[in-house]
Structure 1
Amino acid sequence: MKIKANNIDIEIEDTHPGDSTGRPVVLLIMGLGMQLIAWPPAMVQAIADAGFRVLRLDNRDIGLSQHFDHLGTPSLLWEGLKFRLGWRIRPPYSLEDMAADTLGVLDALNIAKAHVVGVSMGGMVAQRLAVLAPSRLLSLSSIMSSSGARGLPEASPAVTRILLSRPAGKGVQAAVDHTARLLKAIGSPGFPTPDAELRQKVAAAAQRSFHPQGVVRQMVAIAADSTRAAALARVTAPTLVLHGRADPLVPMACGEDTARRIPGARFESIEGMGHDLPPGVVERLLALLIPHFKAAATT
């Protein structure tokens, strides 16, 4: 379902549209280049079965939400060099803009407060939302994400090589092959996803929407967000930070740093978890998330 939020078109999925029973809302924000369908259906259903209304959205520039091709496609090489040198990066839009989109979703649906959950880049957007509109969060959950502080560990060399490489050819199939290779490299070693299943998910996402230019603009928005780490001291929502001990893309130290910067935040690590959401990881996340939602409702 498409709605107007923050004056742009945002695609959402709602487990209980128009709910008037007072069911608490959980808003799920996906990561870089990932669509709302990347949230495992079993995870969404389990949260709904626990008594919550679950909202998912395609972030701007991805999936079926509004694209921003008119803003141009930045050069990752040039923007990466500026990042390394500490120069100012001027992104086509910011993570704060994306946080305003999520706030706009709540406004459009007349939702006063929500439990906000973000993974990877989605965790960064969720952190920004917690700073932007603290009164609108029942709780914050930041998963496999980072504070964005300078000096934190970076992706492993093997993952970095894949990130900086290009697909072997042009077209959707080459992009699917490249994405599947990346997802395999960052996956959870303790909970491996079969190759055929991984490729099927990547192909389904590409069939729904194929928009690599949006991924580039989102990457630059991440690199440009240089003040979030300091701003996290202003987060007031009950916060849970979850991270995999085997994450090769966003090392666990990044999650630990996030938790240290948010007053009263709780940090939990998961053995064998990388940078994905296979069933075994989902099971362990749910065992921590649902009690967190319920505890936050009583504070």
Structure 2
Amino acid sequence: MSLATHIEQFATLPNGLRLCYASHGDESAPVVLLIAGLGVQMVYWPAVLIEQLVTAGYRVVCFDNRDAGRSARAATPHPSKWQQLTGKAPAGSYSLEDMADDTALLLDHLGIGQAHLVGMSMGGMIAQTLAYRHPQKAASLVSIFSTTGHRKVGQPALSTLWRMARAKAPRNQAQAVESYRSTMTHIGEGTAPGAQALWENYASQAWLRNGERADARALFRQIGAILKSGDRTPHLRSIQVPCLVVHGDQDRMVHPSGGVATAQVIPNARHEVIAGMRHEINAPQAQRLAALILHHIGQQQ
């Protein structure tokens, strides 16, 4: 499996942020918006996923969130590791609501009135937030291995937290590749076809697109956004668009209870549990996710 190749473009939003984005397919077609997760860049999305959506007649738009990839870096405080462990965001940090607003402004910039929202992990949180904060922008919602923000659900495994706490910022591309491989060996599926090559390809691209630096503060600011927004359960109850919640039963980064809770609080949400799926979109999962997404959004036409 290969990662998607993008023609990268930039949008300067009314709030002053500059986001990097890419568009695939007929610009007049219904839009599927792919929203990436914590620290993840838009080049993560598998080519086969985008190709299947485009072949089915959709326009696919993906982008780097603020503080990721080639998008702008924020000038706000980031939480310390102690604040991350205690679940407290520093004063002045931005929130998931701010990131959802970024996304709405990007859609406006592109002249897109409404889109099918597909988010993974933190991107699922942003998609959920966009769906209740800007309901007119959402045609449907797909939340992939994400959660509600409630402290009692969707938490990482202790082994994952331990690895995150001990992680050191890479100083060069080789270290970045090795660090990503180590992380994905723990939370991903290393025996999947082409997994090792895929991890190396993504980590290399991400390092270069990130200005050949680790930029841990940017990652921490995104973590701060999650902490600041806290439990979004009351807001999720107000979502009215059709929602599909997808989660694997072997997820060590976002416990499957996060998916259960999300599906329980969003009215009429459908919950799809994928046996053996971890916190990764690999070759087999990309094919299955494309089919699930197309079935879900096809029902809304």
Give the TM-score taking structure 1 as reference length.
0.91
Q: Which 4+ stretches in 1 moved above 6 angstroms?
A: none
- Other-structure match for 1:185: 186
Instruction: Provide closer, same or farther for how the CA distance between residues 193 and 147 of structure 1 changes in structure 2, counting only shifts above 3 A.
Output: farther
String of CA shifts for 1:171-197, please: whole Å, max 9, x gaps: 444343222211221113774653343
- Other-structure match for 1:74: 79
Q: Gaps (5+ residues) in structure 2?
A: 1-8
Q: Which amino acid aligns with 1:164?
A: A
Out of 233, 236, 242, the position equivalent to 2:240 is: 236
* Secondary structure of residue in 1 paired with 2:237: helix
Contact 1:89 1:223 in 2 (8 A): no
Instruction: Provide closer, same or farther for how the CA distance between residues 262 and 168 of structure 1 changes in structure 2, counting only shifts above 3 A.
Output: closer
Are 1:139 and 2:147 matched, yes or no? Answer: no
Q: How far apart are 1:71 and its partner, in Å?
A: 2.3
* Secondary structure of residue in 1 paired with 2:299: helix
Instruction: Provide closer, same or farther for how the CA distance between residues 250 and 227 of structure 1 changes in structure 2, counting only shifts above 3 A.
Output: closer
- Other-structure match for 1:14: 23
Instruction: Provide closer, same or farther for how the CA distance between residues 241 and 189 of structure 1 changes in structure 2, counting only shifts above 3 A.
Output: farther
- Other-structure match for 1:5: 13
String of CA shifts for 1:94-141, please: whole Å, max 9, x gaps: 110000011001101111110000000000000100111111111000
Are 1:205 and 2:213 matched, yes or no? Answer: no
String of CA shifts for 1:212-249, please: whole Å, max 9, x gaps: 32111001111221241221011011100000111111
Give the TM-score taking structure 2 as reference length.
0.90
- Other-structure match for 1:250: 254
Q: Gaps (5+ residues) in structure 1?
A: none
Question: 1 CA distance for matches of 2:169 and 2:222?
Answer: 22
Deviation larger for 50-59 or 173-182: 173-182
Q: Which amino acid aligns with 2:76?
A: L
Q: Which amino acid aligns with 2:168?
A: P
Contact 1:167 1:174 in 2 (8 A): no
* Secondary structure of residue in 2 paired with 1:231: helix
Q: Which amino acid aligns with 1:11?
A: C
Contact 2:170 2:179 in 1 (8 A): no
* Secondary structure of residue in 1 paired with 2:136: helix
Q: Which amino acid aligns with 1:200?
A: N
Q: Which amino acid aligns with 2:157?
A: S
Instruction: Provide closer, same or farther for how the CA distance between residues 196 and 279 of structure 1 changes in structure 2, counting only shifts above 3 A.
Output: closer
- Other-structure match for 1:36: 42
Q: Which amino acid aligns with 1:63?
A: G
Contact 1:31 1:120 in 2 (8 A): yes
Q: How far apart are 1:261 and its partner, in Å?
A: 0.5
- CA RMSD of superposed structures (Å): 1.9
Question: 2 CA distance for matches of 1:88 and 1:71?
Answer: 11
Q: How far apart are 1:150 and its partner, in Å?
A: 2.4
- Other-structure match for 2:263: 259
Equivalent positions of 1:142-181 (< 5 A) are: 142-167=143-168, 170-181=171-182
* Secondary structure of residue in 2 paired with 1:247: coil
Q: How far apart are 1:169 and its partner, in Å?
A: 6.1
- Other-structure match for 1:47: 53
Question: 2 CA distance for matches of 1:190 and 1:91?
Answer: 43
Give aligned-pair identity as a percent. Answer: 34
Deviation larger for 210-219 or 108-117: 210-219
